[in-house]
Amino acid sequence: MLSDSDFLRLLPKAELHCHFVATVRVETLLELADEFAVPLRTSDMDELLRYRGLPDFLDVFHAAQQVMRTPEAIARVAYEGVEDAVREGNLRYREYFVNPDNFAELGIAYPELIDALVDGLGRAERDFGVGYGLSCAINRSLGPDAAVRMVQTMLAHPHSAVLGIGQDYLTPEFTEDPLRFRDAYALAEAHGLRRSAHVGETMPESPSNVRDAIEVLHVDRIDHGYRAADDPEVVALAASTGVAFTCTPHSTQMLSGWDFDENHRIAQLIRGGVTVTLATDDATLFHTDIGREYTVALTQMGFDIPDAVRIARAGFEAAWCDEAHKQRLLADFDGAVLALTAARA
Ligand SMILES: [Zn+2]
């Protein structure tokens, strides 16, 4: 008989909030750092991911970006990241945030970046059957003009794998400030690109950031959005619009120290009728994987198998792939759930 933990691990998953750079396998990070002479605090794998504070974390995050300086390295990281997530949590579809400005700084132009990603992810799709899409991340630290330029670059080089825009980093003042980027969002919307925003992630940010992202930036999805749970009106707005929240439990433990219990803000959002999907955010750097977000976080927040099935299915429903692809993914999902349910009885 299949245990609950194995059921949750084997449940097919769509991951919609995943920063490409942080899908790097730790062994590969060490190897590439050596090859490209990128300095690391230590070459001990466990020690590297044991942060004594935010600077240690940012050092590793920076190094993970710095090692991706050739198309071959990018394609390799892309392929291995899928291979790992299939093993750890039966990943079936994933959308990645990629930050074109950071790669441009390393000398990788936008078309070359997309080609390298498609090379690795396409090979992984053929070998593991995992579909994918790309979302370009506005680097909020570079300001609103750079955000508009990023969207212009995307529009100048359209690619079927590139589905929309999202965000990473924070503004130079270490805030979210979603409205600062309204011009980039309007441009993306006018040209049919899908949109998400990182808002309401931590305590210093206001629940109204979630409202602004929905009402002004017209996002299709919210990334994080936890602070919405502190304002019933924002929860009601999110529930009534059906906008999906890509929540990343382990990152909230690492960054905000929130325990996994029934009062966790993700649990509150789910109970409030908000469409929630689970993801890893920065899998390698947060010591997590898409399986653990279900087997550990979701169960400790008090949710059962039917809840998990509903939440996992929401990930496929909220995907930005084309409708035919989505229907195929959903049919496969429903078939797998039937088989897993039979194996559990
Ligand atoms: Zn994120």
Segment 217-230, tens digit of pLDDT: 999 999 999 999 99
pLDDT of residue 334: 98
What are the beta bridge partners of residue 197?
A: 222
CA of 1 to the centre of ligand 1 (A): 36
> CB within 5 A of ion ligand 1: which residues?
281
CA of 126 to the centre of ligand 1 (A): 27
Q: For helices 71-89 and 26-35, what crossing angle results, to 10°?
A: 170
pLDDT of residue 259: 96
pLDDT of residue 57: 82
pLDDT band at 45 (very low <50, low <70, confident <90, very high): confident
What are the beta bridge partners of residue 137?
A: 166
Kindly state the average pLDDT of the residues 171-200: 97
Kindly state the average pLDDT of the residues 234-250: 97
Q: Is the pLDDT of residue 38 over 90?
A: yes
Sheet of strand 244-247: strand arrangement: 13-15, 91-98, 131-139, 162-168, 194-199, 221-224, 244-247, 275-278
Residue 247 three-state SS: strand
Long-range interactions of 35-43: CB distance < 8 A, separation 24+: 35/67, 36/66, 36/67, 36/69, 36/73, 38/63, 38/66, 38/67, 39/63
* Residue-wise pLDDT tens digits, 57-80: 878 988 999 999 999 999 999 999
CA 267/CA 81 separation, integer angstroms? 28
The token duo for 174 is: 């270490």
pLDDT band at 254 (very low <50, low <70, confident <90, very high): confident
CA of 276 to the centre of ligand 1 (A): 15
pLDDT of residue 56: 81
pLDDT of residue 220: 98
* Residue-wise pLDDT tens digits, 111-141: 999 999 999 999 999 999 999 999 999 999 9
User: Helices marked H in 157-272 — which ranges?
Assistant: 182-190, 208-215, 232-241, 249-256, 265-271
Q: Is the pLDDT of residue 345 over 90?
A: no
Question: Strand locations in 109-161, DSSP E?
Answer: 131-139
Q: What is the mean pLDDT of the chain?
A: 96
Question: Strand locations in the chain, DSSP E?
Answer: 13-15, 91-98, 131-139, 162-168, 194-199, 221-224, 244-247, 275-278
Q: What are the C-alpha distances in Å from 11 to residues 5, 15, 202, 329?
A: 10, 12, 29, 13
CA of 210 to the centre of ligand 1 (A): 15
CA of 105 to the centre of ligand 1 (A): 21
CA of 11 to the centre of ligand 1 (A): 23
pLDDT band at 49 (very low <50, low <70, confident <90, very high): confident
Q: Percentage of residues in the chain with pLDDT exceeding 70?
A: 100
What are the beta bridge partners of residue 316?
A: none
CB contact set of 323 (below 8 Å; sequence gap of 6+): none
CA of 182 to the centre of ligand 1 (A): 19
Q: Is the pLDDT of residue 52 over 90?
A: no
CA of 98 to the centre of ligand 1 (A): 11
* Residue-wise pLDDT tens digits, 282-340: 998 888 999 999 999 999 999 999 999 999 999 999 999 999 999 999 999 999 999 99
Give the chain's domains with CATH numbers: 4-24+68-344 (3.20.20.140)
CA of 314 to the centre of ligand 1 (A): 18
Q: Percentage of residues in the chain with pLDDT exceeding 90?
A: 90
CA of 175 to the centre of ligand 1 (A): 14
CA of 97 to the centre of ligand 1 (A): 8
pLDDT band at 248 (very low <50, low <70, confident <90, very high): very high
CA of 343 to the centre of ligand 1 (A): 35
pLDDT band at 51 (very low <50, low <70, confident <90, very high): confident
CB contact set of 160 (below 8 Å; sequence gap of 6+): none
CA of 307 to the centre of ligand 1 (A): 24
CA of 179 to the centre of ligand 1 (A): 18
Higher model confidence: residue 345 or residue 223? 223
Radius of gyration, CA atoms only, the chain: 19
Residue 133 in contact with residue 161, Cβ under 8 Å? yes
pLDDT band at 18 (very low <50, low <70, confident <90, very high): very high
* Bridge-based pairing state of the strands 194-199 and 221-224: parallel
220 CB neighbour count, 10 Å cutoff: 18
